[in-house]
């Protein structure tokens, strides 16, 4: 592995560690999921805008490209709404275990979007992930709604990651992040009255922050979104999308450990839950070896 590749992968793991605390921050913040996503993305868009201004870069894109980027922003908004909602109706650990299926969805979505060949070992690892989920579902039936939401959030994460991989070929990370966050905030704002009327039985929109909300929201927006999201988009220019999403599977490891430390008994699950999560995470360790073997095989056949 080249030193530049190693540096990129270490940077990616650092970003994943940061993302591991997002579910915890979501539970620490008093705002409902929709309002939380609105503030997170609005502040993130403002933060990226300031960076672009002081660096004297441009946000200029064509209307057609703007529509493409904004569409991905809507997917991101839906992803985060489901992500935080999942943690609220279950636990941070259950939410993060469901998010570990992102690589499974990517294994099927990336070839469809990029019109490339499906790799057999990516499908095999996806099936391994499914077996881990079956173990969790079998013994943690009380959390089926939260886990289902997390699975949907993981699907959306895979989809917008694949689409972002294509957008990075034409646009800078700051252009992509700014317009996606702005579109995500706008979608959350428009969706609020719909959600209040149809999904939460008329529960009023909660605009006000309470207690330490402002600290956690700023960390969530500044560190977990502006920095981590922009850096991950930049890494997509050099690293395969599948390997990025597979590494993101380590997010539950960091997140589950931190959740137990922060919330104590509330986050402790059955041994079967951790067994299922372990099965899912084994794919993280297997993939680099299989990918290396596959590339070596192609080189060998190319020489011969």
Q: Half-sphere exposure of residue 229, counting CA atoms within 13 Å on the CB side?
A: 29
CB contact set of 263 (below 8 Å; sequence gap of 6+): 24, 27, 92
**pLDDT at 76 exceeding the cut of 60:** yes
226: containing domain = 3-303
Which pLDDT value is given to residue 49?
92
pLDDT digit string, tens, across residues 113-153: 777 777 777 778 778 877 877 777 676 667 888 888 999 99
Least confident of 53-57, 194-198, 242-246: 242-246
Can you state the percent helix, strand and coil of the chain, rounding each to 5?
A: 80, 0, 20
Model pTM above 0.85: no
Yes or no: say if 244 and 288 are a contact pair by the CB < 8 Å rule. no
**pLDDT at 201 exceeding the cut of 80:** no
Please indicate whether residue 210 or residue 113 has the higher confidence score (pLDDT). Answer: 210
**pLDDT at 178 exceeding the cut of 90:** yes
Burial, 45: exposed, middle or buried (Cβ in 10 Å; 0-12, 13-18, 19+)?
Answer: buried
Please indicate whether residue 268 or residue 81 has the higher confidence score (pLDDT). Answer: 81
**pLDDT at 185 exceeding the cut of 80:** yes
**pLDDT at 1 exceeding the cut of 60:** no
Which pLDDT value is given to residue 207?
83
CB contact set of 85 (below 8 Å; sequence gap of 6+): 33, 149
Most confident of 17-31, 41-55, 86-100, 197-211: 41-55
Q: What's the token pair of residue 253?
A: 């490891």
Which pLDDT value is given to residue 304?
47
How many distinct structural domains can be found in the chain?
Answer: 1
């Amino acid at each position: 592995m080249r030193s530049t590749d190693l540096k990129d992968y270490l940077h990616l793991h650092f970003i994943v560690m940061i993302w591991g605390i997002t579910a915890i921050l979501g539970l620490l913040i008093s705002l409902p999921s929709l309002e939380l996503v609105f503030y997170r993305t609005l502040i993130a868009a403002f933060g990226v805008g300031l960076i672009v201004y002081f660096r004297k870069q441009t946000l200029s894109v064509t209307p057609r490209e703007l529509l493409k980027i904004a569409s991905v922003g809507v997917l991101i908004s839906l992803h985060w709404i489901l992500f935080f909602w999942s943690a609220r109706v279950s636990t941070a650990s259950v939410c993060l275990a469901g998010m570990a299926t992102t690589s499974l969805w990517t294994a099927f979505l990336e070839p469809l979007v990029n019109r490339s060949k499906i790799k057999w070992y990516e499908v095999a690892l996806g099936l391994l992930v499914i077996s881990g989920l079956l173990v969790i579902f079998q013994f943690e039936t009380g959390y089926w709604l939260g886990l289902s939401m997390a699975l949907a959030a993981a699907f959306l994460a895979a989809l917008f990651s694949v689409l972002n991989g294509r957008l990075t070929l034409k646009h800078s990370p700051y252009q992509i992040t700014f317009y996606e966050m702005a579109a995500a905030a706008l979608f959350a704002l428009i969706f609020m009255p719909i959600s209040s009327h149809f999904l939460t039985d008329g529960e009023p929109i909660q605009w006000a922050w309470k207690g330490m909300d402002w600290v956690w929201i700023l960390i969530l927006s500044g560190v977990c979104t502006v920095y981590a999201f922009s850096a991950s988009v930049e890494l997509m220019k050099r690293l395969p999308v599948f390997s990025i999403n597979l590494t993101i599977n380590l997010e539950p490891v960091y997140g589950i450990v931190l959740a137990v430390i922060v919330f104590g008994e509330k986050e402790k699950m059955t041994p079967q839950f951790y067994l299922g999560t372990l099965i899912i995470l084994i794919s993280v360790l297997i993939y680099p070896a299989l990918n290396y073997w596959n590339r070596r095989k192609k080189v060998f056949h190319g020489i011969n």
